Structure 1
Amino acid sequence: MSIPFTRQALLLTMSLASFTTQAGDTTWQHPGIVEGNLPAWYPKLAQQLAPSDSWLNGHYAQFSTWRAHARQLVRDALLTPDSHRPFAPEVLSRQQRDGYHAEKVALNITDDSRIAALVLTPDTAGPHPAIVLLHDHGSKFDIGKEKMIRPWGDAAKEASAKAWAEKFFTGRFVGDELAKRGYKVIAIDAPGWGDRGPMTYEQQQALASNFFNFGRSLAGEMAYEDLRTVDFLASQPDVDKAHIGVLGFSMGGYRAWQLAALSDKVAATAVISWFGTWQGLMTPGNNVLRGQSAFYMLHPGLNAKLDIPDIAAIAAPAPMLIFSGGKDKLFPASAVDAAWEKMHRIWQSQGGESHLLTRRWPDLGHVFYQEQQVVAFDWLDRWLQPGKTSPGIK
């Protein structure tokens, strides 16, 4: 006996036929990622980058109240506990230079890590104004602190550092130039560089992931160690504690404005070649999308609360200089300009517009050349050595 071909059976058959013909058809699906390592819906995500806790939102009546709140947001995002061990510095080696001396000093940078720093000290009587120098990334890990201060006693590092200085700093070591101008200078290796490495480019993701697996953060570790470096300088009897500055290039520039946000001990900050808004940087083709180096700047969830200029502005109205190269492909002018506009609004709101210097160098790329150094060093002298005669800000 045959089974009647009912209407329900017909509909089921048609449905199955439709399913069969579309079985490999994925036009219904939004792709998970697009070229450039961005999620397919990144334009919507970029539009949502409207930081909830920015001073410019007008939710706070007192800047001091907002600053305390914003600083605590950043500090909490580091996922790094406070350290309490004494620094216990020990001089490992020393070299006399022209008008100043260089030392390699071991110190407890945290309760977990004892590291080596390079320190330059003028031969004149202190207390001296001081500068924390923060090195770049550059995907070059054999040297870190040696990118900023001329090393000695290791031929390979000396050659590597000299080549780096030729490429980015017109052949000059930034730390040594500042020591000649009367500053006590310090530089440490970020985790993975120099004496704390060298690691490979591919190891960055694994290192950062394993920090997270321990409930900690690679970016937070770097930021907290920078904070402790300022604290170490401030603990030294030959340092003028009221005149401690920070200068960083590239990733070091990021570290510089971040450090100024975290510490009231920073009296002036020079940021070279690392600034913008996250909305302007999170676009196809930008360098930050490569992922590996980004782990040193990744504080989960913080970007939804504070943008880059919001974090830097925690330091307002303290003096801050920010340089950008007109030919710097890593930081689009539109992203930099949008960030600078926010910065100027905030400094102006606190009566400190004259304390903020932003400048684009049209003919330069991602570098800190001698002509930029002259302006930046004169500017630092203005705030950290107020009694010193200087050629003036250009």
Structure 2
Amino acid sequence: MAIDEALLRHLYAYDRTLPLVPTSEVDPVTNPATRQAVPGLRRERVTFASTHDERVVATLTMPSEGGPHPAVIMQHGSTASGRHAMTTPTPAAPEPLSVQWAKAGFVAVTVDAYGFGSREGADNRGRLTPTRPDLMYRTRDARIQGVQDLMRTVDYLLTRSEVRADAIGYHGV
């Protein structure tokens, strides 16, 4: 089956001029064992506009000085904890991936995918159940929204003075 490239471009197209209307609040990076601030790092919780009247929710973890820095957009797997899977310590990973990237000199951006974490809908729209005949279409729409959210994340990063516009990567789990 051939994939119609024009159709794909149409499905994933979005208006890059859509205002981002960002919000931001400081969220300290702390050592889970000592509860003390991690020197040399800072963290912000941000939101910004995406397509279809959605707002992207993300956490930026970055070096507190210097820059601009390369950035890495980190996407979680299918987990209800969303972006927190990469920003919260666990017994298996006492130093979260976002902190590891930031210590290496990157701006680490963790994003809650549409339907996960803080963006999970009240109708449980992403959960597979036999009584959901609309799930095929909702899944398609959620994947398209997810790609558009990641493109809007790049748009947002391009507005940040801490980020090198020519050095934005992706880390998917």
Report the TM-score, using the length of structure 2 for normalisation: 0.77
How far apart are the structure 2 equivalents of 1:206 and 1:81? Answer: 27
Contact 1:83–1:110, Cα closer than 8 Å, also in 2: no
* Matched ranges for 1:44-193 at <5 A: 49=1, 51=2, 70=5, 72-78=6-12, 81-82=14-15, 84-96=17-29, 97-110=38-51, 112-137=53-78, 140-141=79-80, 143-150=81-88, 162=90, 166=92, 170-193=93-116
8 Å contact kept, 2:51–2:145: no
Query: Please, which of 132, 153, 165 is the counterpart of residue 241 of structure 1?
Result: 165
**Alpha-carbon distance in 1 for matches of 2:28, 2:3:** 50
Deviates more, 1:203-212 or 1:221-230: 203-212
Following TM superposition, by how much is the alpha carbon of 1:237 offset from its aligned partner in structure 2, in angstroms? Answer: 1.8
Gaps of 5+ in 2: 30-37
On the 8 A contact 1:208/1:217 being kept in 2, the answer is no
Question: In structure 1, what is the equivalent of residue 154 of structure 2?
Answer: 230
Change (3 A) 1:235 1:201: same
Q: In the TM superposition, what is the alpha-carbon distance from 1:122 to its structure 2 partner?
A: 0.7
- Partners of 1:92 and 1:106 within 8 A in 2: no
C-alpha spacing 1:201/1:172, structure 2 compared with 1 (3 Å): farther
Aligned equivalent of 2:33: none
1:95, 1:201 → 2: CA distance?
A: 33
Residue identity (%): 25
Displacement of 1:188 in angstroms is 1.1
Cα distance in structure 2, aligned partners of 1:135 and 1:207? 25
Decide whether the 8 Å contact of 2:69 with 2:162 is kept in 1.
yes
Query: Could you list the runs of 4 or more consecutive aligned residues of structure 1 that deviate by over 6 angstroms after TM superposition?
Result: none
Distance 1:203 1:191 in 2: 18
Give per-residue Cα distances to partners, 1:52-83, cap 9 Å, x unaligned. 78xxxxxxxxxxxxxxxx5x5532243x6435
Q: How many aligned residue pairs are there?
A: 161
**Structure of higher RCO (CA pairs closer than 8 Å, 6+ residues apart):** 2
Displacement of 1:115 in angstroms is 3.3
Matched ranges for 1:1-394 at <5 A? 49=1, 51=2, 70=5, 72-78=6-12, 81-82=14-15, 84-96=17-29, 97-110=38-51, 112-137=53-78, 140-141=79-80, 143-150=81-88, 162=90, 166=92, 170-197=93-120, 199=124, 201-202=127-128, 208-209=135-136, 211=138, 217-249=141-173
Query: Cα 1:77–1:235, aligned 2, differ >3 Å: closer, same or farther?
Result: same
Whether the 8 Å CA contact 1:207–1:218 is kept in 2: the answer is no
Give unmatched runs, 5+ long, in structure 1. 1-48, 54-69, 151-160, 250-394
- Residues 200-234 of structure 1: CA deviation (Å, up to 9, x unaligned): 6336956645648xxx7221111111111112112
Alpha-carbon shift at residue 95 of structure 1 (Å)? 0.8
Cα distance in 1 for partners of 2:64, 2:165 equals 18
Between Structure 1 and Structure 2, which shows a larger proportion of helix residues? 1
Structure (1 or 2) with the greater strand fraction: 2
Pair 122,197 (structure 1): closer, same or farther in 2 beyond 3 Å? same
Letter in 2 for 1:183: F
Give deviations 1:1-28, integer Å, cap 9, x for gaps: xxxxxxxxxxxxxxxxxxxxxxxxxxxx
What letter is aligned with 2:119? Answer: R
Contact kept? 1:110, 1:225, Cα under 8 Å: yes
Greater Rg by CA: 1
Letter in 2 for 1:184: V
Query: Using a 3 Å threshold, how does the CA distance of structure 1 residues 83 and 209 change in structure 2: closer, same or farther?
Result: farther
